[in-house]
Amino acid sequence: MRVSLHQFLTIYAWFGLSSLLFLMALIARFYERLSGERTYYQFFVVPVIAFAGATFREAQLDQVTGDVATEILLFIGGVSLAMLCIHIYHRMTIGR
């Protein structure tokens, strides 16, 4: 089985993205423990899993566009990540 450069870089980028999401979850958990306000840091697993599914499907098919399942997974990951970030932003900045 031959791995193309696109497949390698796609999976490599996912590991970088996952580490950033893990760092964001740790920040949200720290803030929740420090302030006592609910941040829902556990839900950061949703974008990680959605992006993982999209990444591995993209690497399996060895194409960037044209797959509906990949696009849906990317949409779910992006929307859930945006909602989590906006929620945490509001928790940390409103009223301060």
Digit-coded pLDDT (tens) for 48-76 = 999 999 999 998 887 777 889 999 999 99
Digit-coded pLDDT (tens) for 26-52 = 999 999 999 999 999 999 999 999 999
Q: Please, where are the H alpha helices in the chain?
A: 5-35, 45-61, 68-93
pTM: 0.87
Tell me which DSSP letter residue 39 carries: -
Q: What is the predicted pLDDT for the residue at 82?
A: 97
